[in-house]
Structure 1
Amino acid sequence: MSEETLPATKMLTFFSEGAKKGQKIKPVPFSKAELLTFPEVKEWLAKGYELDSFENKLSPKDPSQVIVLVVLTRE
């Protein structure tokens, strides 16, 4: 993808591992430091994007699973 065709905003979604059947685990939110180590995030940062925001949410299907929505932007 050439730089001219890159979108101004890139949204990524990541999921934590859910609880196995019969297990009860406390959901652990993703941290900024952790997100910055993800290969997909690193790939977009290398293209000139910056981490704009991220939000941790609990999965409606599995309350032990965390879903994180990541917003990357570039000028």
Structure 2
Amino acid sequence: MSPYEEKYVDVKYIGDLIGSSTITVEEVSQQWRLWFLAVGFILLLLALSISSWVHFYYSTSMVIVVFMVIIFLLIQL
């Protein structure tokens, strides 16, 4: 790893606060964040045309209702 590259470190502490700790460093690729950024940017650019589609409103409302029914069933169980 080059000392001149900008890197970010995520520190997670698992365990008790008493005693000694061991620190390990591993580099994790987070490609999924770039994919979500790209999809969000594309949806932002297409928002004006997508919002005029009747199928968009019908499908999103059906998805919301299905999730609400699933949550309701989980709460009842």
Q: Identify the TM-score tier after normalising by the shorter chain.
A: under 0.3
Instruction: Name which one, 1 or 2, has greater alpha-carbon Rg.
Output: 2
TM-score by length of 1: 0.21
- Which structure shows the bigger proportion of residues in helix conformation? 2
Higher relative contact order (CA 8 A, sep 6+): 1
